[in-house]
Amino acid sequence: MANLPFDNANFNLTNFANIYPDIMDSTPKTIEYQYKDANGNIQTNSIANRGEIKQQLWDDVGGALGQFDRTFYVDAVNGDDNNTGSSSAPFKTIKKAVDSVPIGGIGKIYLIGSGDNDNPTTFTFLSGNVSITKKNITILPYNEGCLLKPYITNSSTYNYAHGFDIGNYGFLHIYTGTNLTIETALKSDSSLNFHWVSSGFINVKGAGSVYIGGYPTANDVRILNDGCNLINICVRDTNGGFASISSAYAKYIFDSTTPNAYIFSVYSSAGNIAFAAYNVLLVDTAGDNVAYKDACSGIVKDANGVPRNIISNIVF
């Protein structure tokens, strides 16, 4: 450590004693002190006191931690992914907003709609799947007129749903409230099946969690009878083997009472999952009730009819 630039022989201990209380004060301030330089001239310098040092440390650490709790806005019509993502300069795509949340971070993403639920702004995934791994993401409407749905493409053998991909330690919360509608999509090529890994608006591929709903009431979640599930679960045992799905205050509307698309579908070789539902209404387009056994797929039961690969508060 370098020596302090003052002459010890002439250092005024009484003066130091006078400024010592200010140095230790918890109120941030700058303290001036005098010293003799190498030529014997008295010079004045300043130092931060204890309070100012603590304040700077707090600002630096708090600023760093704040980067892990981000809020962004998305406007599918007027936004631009070169913007900052603020309410006055929103992004254009949900993918850009999610990608802007750091690994290990929490992101709240507001969708700016048209203001009219009868002619909503559609938020889709033309730029590819949105990956959520080791992130906690909440999607919610900023105003009325928001429609959230996947984008469907096809190859020569399969249809593919482009939406959310949930990896290990990924959490997705879609808050429907009264202003956000979710809708699965029809096949791009009706003659082809959906690929088993990508057959849902939300594809859970790791040990992650999904929550859908709003309080006290929610807009519709429309599940079209064409094979695109709301949630597709393909969690292998080697990838953690467990996923959590929950929904509350949600209204699911199916094309028919025996839908070909489901709230969730578990791929046959997937690991275990937990499913919880509270104040959830299942109906078809005619308004008739739909049973959970017809709304969910891939549940493995034992000889007594008890599910083996799912823990739930619902009787299937």
Which of the two residues, 22 and 96, has the higher pLDDT score?
96
User: What is the arithmetic mean of pLDDT over 228-243?
Assistant: 77
Q: What percent of the chain has pLDDT over 90?
A: 54
Q: Within this chain, do residues 119 and 205 fall inside the same structural domain, yes or no?
A: yes
Q: Which of 29-33, 126-130, 207-211, 285-289 has the lowest mean pLDDT?
A: 29-33
Same domain, 293 and 190: yes
Specify the pLDDT at position 193. 93
| 3-state SS, residue 92 | coil
Q: Are residues 26 and 72 in the same domain?
A: no
In a domain, 116, yes or no: yes
246 and 101: one domain? yes
* Residue 5, pLDDT score: 46
Our count of domains for the chain comes to: 2
Do 208 and 289 lie in one domain? The reply is yes
What share of the chain has pLDDT > 70, as a percent?
A: 84
Question: Do both 111 and 164 map to the same domain?
Answer: yes
Residue 2 included in any domain: no
Same domain, 179 and 40: no
20 pLDDT above the threshold of 70:
no
Q: What pLDDT sits at residue 213?
A: 93
Give residue 1's pLDDT.
32
Residue 3 lies in a domain: no
Instruction: Indicate the residue among 59, 82, 102 that finishes a domain.
Output: 59
Q: Are residues 121 and 12 in the same domain?
A: no
- Which residues form the domain of 54? 8-59
Give buried/exposed letters for 164-201 (b at 16+ CB in 10 A, else e): bbbbebbbbbbbbbebbbbbbbebbeeebebbeebbbb
Please tell me whether residues 153 and 132 are part of one structural domain: yes
Whether residue 48 is found in the same domain as residue 162 = no
